[in-house]
Amino acid sequence: MGEIRFLEDHRTWVLTGTSSTYALRLDEDDVPAHVYWGPPLAAADVVELAGKTLPWWDGFNDPNEGLGELAADGGTRYWTPALQVRFADGTRALEWRYETHEITGDHLAIRCTDRHYPFRITLHYRLRGDVVERWTELAADTEAEVIRADSATWALPVFEDYRLSHVTGRWAAETQLRRVPAPHGETVFASRRGITGHHANPWVMVDDGTATERHGEVYGVALAWSGSWRLTTTRSSTGRLTVSGGFGQDGVVHRVGPGKPLTTPIAAGLYTRGGFGAASRAWHAYVLDHVLPHPGELRPVLYNSWEATGFDVTEAGQRALAERAAALGVELFVMDDGWFGARTGDHAGLGDWQVNRERFPDGLGPLVEAVHGLGMKFGIWVEPEMVNPDSDLYRAHPDWVLHHPHRRRSELRNQLVLNFARPDVAAWARGWLDRLVGEHGIDFLKWDMNRPFSEAGWPGEADQDRLWVDHTRAVYALMDRLRADHPGLRIEACSGGGGRIDLGVLARTDQVWTSDNTDALDRLRIQHGYSHVYPARAMSAWVTDNPNFVTARSVPLRFRFHVAMAGVLGVGGDIVRWPVEDVALARDLIALYKDIRPVVQHGAQYRLRPPADDGVTALQYVHGGRAVVFAYRQAAHFNAPERPLRLDGLDPAARYRDADTGRTHSGAVLLAHGLVPALPAGDFASTVVRLDRIKI
């Protein structure tokens, strides 16, 4: 458990995490200023640092530059602004000062106010192990425009060098890890799309350029937000680097005034030692302990019909898939797109959420009953925020979509975005979702979102820009409401694959659809990038057919399973057509997955070898006395030497038994020397090794 203390004589707050310390103080102007973030430091030591600012020796820089706890724009503060306000009289510079603070357990609120205008700024801090959650709350008695409202500014120690780790990508190639020297000046990672995005993900890690998977100090910042966002790293010539971030985007203004406060989402910051591996494990532990709504659950093995049937959904077809899925050992059957309205392709029907009676003459009831009768839970695909112009909903409510009066309504995938910031739209969505879930006893929603915003206007509304924030908040509120009203309901977040993966959506869903790319080889890279912040417990991964739907590559079934088994296993192929030998293998591998699932879903993950075009990729999970190792070799090369995989996270004093071969190994040897996994010959070879600590 952490502790938060205020050292009154030094006007300094010290936040002591499990293995880290964070400290801030009030500067000479009574403004919160950064003091320290890093390895554990006693309060007595922290005070030695407080107040050591650079002397004001030139006329061009602020001596405190880069040290604002929330870099507010104004005065001689030229740093990347984290807070920019324009008051009603046109004044833009903020002059703020501390008023009071409260410490309530692991929560600190520092209340400040503008020196002249009735504008209040509260900085919030909450300790979650070594994660410091931060957010900003703004309130005003007279109208003010907030041009930028970051959740937090994070100042890093002055290092000799800095390096950034982040992910980039695109549809079907999300979360590609990049590690680059931190450029001087400002580097912006952002989404202006109204969704989290496939092209970037709202987190960044910073190290001094020397950290490896197993060694070194790593700082990380991640945002809990599923709309537009922005994270800026600023590196100055004086050697300092900050990370500032929050929701919003350039040009979109928030209006704050009487009865209209603004609270930013959480920005979570984490300092760790032990390399990128330890950093990721600390993020996973945070997500499991403090973010996911039902972290203790084991996620069921899922079947999803999308790649098998596309839009060709019929009751008979779904029943046949469900029967085969149950026989394989699947626990949750999910019917994807194509079950409602005129949705026989992506051109029509979105928004008309009545079951298609040509496809389901007696409604959804018989299929849901059949699936439940087979001993599986029933899940269904929905895309509540979207509408096809060719739909009864759009014909009745053309004003419900984001639009500007004299501009075209740009379609992507033949669809437009419903404005969930409108209370009538949100109420409509709640109505049909509540009925759908309640009337049919639906256990699981796959909540999709297949395009970003465009022409994001709201004619008739005085403050149109608020839709950027309020849309996301309304989606969150609806998910929260549905969960509260249907406690058994579980949700998978999806946005054309991995376009909506972030700490915000993970707080109200149970798993995320990682990517529409189910090619096992491409998945190794996607899953590698994903794993830097997000846990296997939430990573939905399906085994699909050969040749792959997206890449046209064919990969052996065992390899496809082994890759998907490193997360929340699902099956998404046309299993009715699978040959008997594939069915038998799938049944065995699903049974194996159920055995190792507690280790994979709740264990600590070690990335033993990152994906490479050549060689072996390997991952390990450890939970209690059990360890599971996955090893994958893409291509075999003649006479290539086998390198042992040095394992991690084991007890060096214990012995471990291989559950398949019965062979025993010393923990110390596995850690110091390693294990040579028995990979079969040839390309696309893979194996799963189960090691159990031997009780003495």
| Alpha carbon distance 531, 548 (integer Å) | 23
CA distances to 95, 322, 478, 568 from 593, in Å: 58, 19, 33, 9
Phi-psi region of 649 (alpha: psi -120 to 50; beta: other; left: phi over 0): left
Q: How far is the CB of 497 from ligand DGJ (least distance, A)?
A: 5
Q: How far is the CB of 611 from ligand DGJ (least distance, A)?
A: 22
241 versus 494: smaller Cβ distance to ligand DGJ: 494
Helix (H) or strand (E) holding 501: none
Cα 660 to its chain centre, rounded Å, is: 35
Tokens of 379: 């899940």
Query: Which candidate in 448, 502, 510, 582 is catalytic?
Result: 448
| Alpha carbon distance 578, 254 (integer Å) | 54
DSSP 91-120: -----EEEEEEEEETTEEEEEEEESSSSEE
495 versus 531: smaller Cβ distance to ligand DGJ: 495
- Are 391 and 352 in contact, with CB atoms under 8 Å apart? yes
Task: Kindly report the backbone phi and psi dihedral angles of residue 38, in degrees, each rounded to the nearest multiple of 5, phi listed first.
Answer: 165, -150
337 versus 352: smaller Cβ distance to ligand DGJ: 337
| Alpha carbon distance 606, 583 (integer Å) | 31
Residue 479's nearest CA partner among 449, 447, 450 is: 447
133 versus 448: smaller Cβ distance to ligand DGJ: 448
- Residue 413 labeled ligand binder: yes
Omega within 30 of 0 (cis) for the link into 547? yes
Q: Which residue has the tokens 């695109």?
A: 170
DSSP state, residue 90: S
197 versus 496: smaller Cβ distance to ligand DGJ: 496
What does the angle CA 314 – CA 316 – CA 318 come to, to the nearest 5 degrees? 70
500 versus 607: smaller Cβ distance to ligand DGJ: 500
Phi-psi region of 351 (alpha: psi -120 to 50; beta: other; left: phi over 0): left
Q: How far is the CB of 594 from ligand DGJ (least distance, A)?
A: 24
Q: How far is the CB of 550 from ligand DGJ (least distance, A)?
A: 11
One-letter amino acid at 393 equals: L
Residues that bind ligand DGJ (CB under 6 A): 306, 336-337, 381, 448, 450, 494, 496-497, 513, 516
- Are 68 and 34 in contact, with CB atoms under 8 Å apart? yes
16 versus 309: smaller Cβ distance to ligand DGJ: 309
The 3-state DSSP class for residue 467 equals: helix
Helices (H) and strands (E) in the chain, counts: 13, 37
127 versus 367: smaller Cβ distance to ligand DGJ: 367
456 versus 494: smaller Cβ distance to ligand DGJ: 494
- Residue 651 labeled ligand binder: no
The 3-state DSSP class for residue 643 equals: coil
Q: How far is the CB of 277 from ligand DGJ (least distance, A)?
A: 29
448 is catalytic: yes
Helix (H) or strand (E) holding 276: helix 275-286
Q: How far is the CB of 622 from ligand DGJ (least distance, A)?
A: 31
- Are 447 and 336 in contact, with CB atoms under 8 Å apart? no
- Are 600 and 536 in contact, with CB atoms under 8 Å apart? yes
Q: How far is the CB of 516 from ligand DGJ (least distance, A)?
A: 5
Query: Which candidate in 470, 516, 519, 648 is catalytic?
Result: 516
- Residue 392 labeled ligand binder: no
For the beta carbon of residue 361, count every other beta carbon within 10 angstroms.
10
Return all residues near 348 (Cβ < 8 A) that are at least 6 apart: 341, 342, 388, 390, 391, 414
272 versus 450: smaller Cβ distance to ligand DGJ: 450
User: What is the 3-class SS of 564-627, one letter each residue?
Assistant: HCCCEEEECCCHHHCCHHHHHHHHHHHHHHHHHHHHHHHCEEEEEECCCCCCEEEEEEEECCEE
- Residue 446 labeled ligand binder: yes
Q: How far is the CB of 303 from ligand DGJ (least distance, A)?
A: 13
Residue count of the chain, please give it: 696
- Residue 494 labeled ligand binder: yes
Q: How far is the CB of 337 from ligand DGJ (least distance, A)?
A: 4
- Residue 56 labeled ligand binder: no
544 versus 634: smaller Cβ distance to ligand DGJ: 544
315 versus 516: smaller Cβ distance to ligand DGJ: 516
| Alpha carbon distance 504, 473 (integer Å) | 10
Determine the residue with CB nearest ligand DGJ.
337
| Alpha carbon distance 439, 318 (integer Å) | 19
Q: How far is the CB of 573 from ligand DGJ (least distance, A)?
A: 13
Q: How far is the CB of 499 from ligand DGJ (least distance, A)?
A: 8
One-letter amino acid at 79 equals: W
| Alpha carbon distance 340, 335 (integer Å) | 11
- Are 110 and 99 in contact, with CB atoms under 8 Å apart? no
- Residue 449 labeled ligand binder: yes
Q: What is the greatest pairwise CA distance in the chain?
A: 81
Omega within 30 of 0 (cis) for the link into 40? no
| Alpha carbon distance 476, 500 (integer Å) | 12
- Residue 400 labeled ligand binder: no
Tokens of 148: 């930028």
Q: How far is the CB of 336 from ligand DGJ (least distance, A)?
A: 5
- Residue 386 labeled ligand binder: no
Annotated binding site: 171, 336-337, 413, 446-450, 494, 516
Annotated binding site for substrate: 171, 336-337, 413, 446-450, 494, 516
Which residues are identified as catalytic?
Answer: 448, 516
